[in-house]
Amino acid sequence: MNEPSNSSCDIDEERLSRLQLAQSDNIGPATYHQLIEAYGSAAEALAALPHLASKHTGGRRIKLCSRDRALRDVEAANAVGGRILCHGDASYPRLLAQTVNPPPILYASGRGELLQQSTCAIVGSRNSSANGKRFARQVAKGLGNEGWNIASGLARGIDTAAHEASLAQGTIAVVATGLDVVYPPENEKLYSEIRAEGCIVTEMPPGTQPRAELFPRRNRIIAGLAAGVVVIEAAMRSGSLITARLANEIGRDVFAVPGSPFDPRTAGTNKLIQDGAMLITSYRDIVDVLERGHLYSDSLAGGSPEQISAGSQVLQNPELNETGKPPTYNDDRVLDDSHRKIVVELLGADPVEVNVVVREAGLSPRIVQMVMIELDLAGRLERHSGQRVSLIA
């Protein structure tokens, strides 16, 4: 990669603090970005966490990621030829940065420049047919010859076929494990080839083993990296449909390959087409659409990457205290228990849009967000797609 690797002796303290913040208890991407926005640095946010979390935990302290643990992650990533990309770095994937609440930290190994280039994702069934894999190879090869990198999830079946066919032109494997864990094990040789010729990327720290809940998180990165997502053979309850849904939510093109109504492996792709995905029969169908609506510009989603990636409509025009600066989260002149009571009473088990809570609370957007951050840190807030939240009893 073009930039120097992160070692324990050259990583600066703010980047180390960002690693700690991202891996502390109950810090998801939304809360991470809101804390950075509110405090101006990860170090300041880390210092404030114990006070914030205590408001809804009955005094129980939040578990913070230690500096030593963060340093161990840096060294473990270095040991497998990886490096750390923080959101805001020039090397952070540009399209992913322009999504709502992108991963705060990425671990990458291989040709990092691929993360900045034109990319299309190909995903599909693990239990794929011979024809499905054949078509995946044709599409990956054709797109590669047209200058497009291919992103996929290194899974068996369609993902593997797409990676194999795009190794020479440019392939990106997004994994749900640490860089030092190969999954599935039978793709160890392919993993090594991609690390040498393409790029491996994950948001999981070294040592992370595969767990079911991590694969949807991986899928959102696949969707965010790509200008479009091609789905080849997907059953009705396939993870590939999650990737397609996430891509659609962020305004990326979704393509689907039609299949036999008698094959359950194509029921999901056929349903995608019924729901408005673009039917394709050749890689040329994809190129024509992607080149007409190329996303590699600052106009994506109608704002700058900084505006979009903050993912928070409630930090605009914050109130100022007498110093002329936004008040800190422990400024009791801004937030008190009556505000907390109002917001908590408006939340329930059913997801509700944040802007609806702001309107019904009759409070400033900033105060509502402050309460939600406290609830999140206490493990009492669940965040959903579409800027919706619900209360965990």
- Give domain limits for the chain: 13-107, 108-301, 312-391
Cα angle 151, 157, 160 (rounded to 5 degrees) comes to 40
* Amino acid letter for position 387: Q
Supply the pLDDT for residue 56: 66
- Lowest mean pLDDT segment, chosen from 136-140, 177-181, 235-239: 235-239
Confidence of residue 59 (pLDDT cuts 50, 70, 90): low
Supply the pLDDT for residue 299: 38
Supply the pLDDT for residue 55: 67
In the predicted structure, residue 326 carries a pLDDT above the cut 90: no
Supply the pLDDT for residue 4: 40
Supply the pLDDT for residue 10: 54
Pick from 68, 61, 72: nearest CA to 25: 61
Q: Percentages helix, strand, coil for the chain, rounded to the nearest 5?
A: 45, 15, 40
Supply the pLDDT for residue 297: 43
Supply the pLDDT for residue 6: 55
Mean pLDDT, residues 48-58:
72
Architecture of domain 312-391: Orthogonal Bundle (1.10)
Confidence of residue 378 (pLDDT cuts 50, 70, 90): confident
Tell me the backbone φ, ψ of residue 381, rounded to 5 degrees: -120, 135
Give the CATH fold of the 108-301 domain: Rossmann fold (3.40.50)
Q: Are 304 and 94 in contact (CB under 8 A)?
A: no
Q: What are the CA-CA distances from residue 107 to residues 39, 48, 116, 306, 333 (Å)?
A: 25, 26, 15, 21, 40
Confidence of residue 343 (pLDDT cuts 50, 70, 90): very high
Q: pLDDT over 70 for what percent of the chain?
A: 85
Q: pLDDT over 90 for what percent of the chain?
A: 70
Confidence of residue 141 (pLDDT cuts 50, 70, 90): very high
Supply the pLDDT for residue 149: 97
Supply the pLDDT for residue 3: 45
User: Strand 105-110 vs strand 199-202: parallel, antiparallel, or unpaired?
Assistant: antiparallel
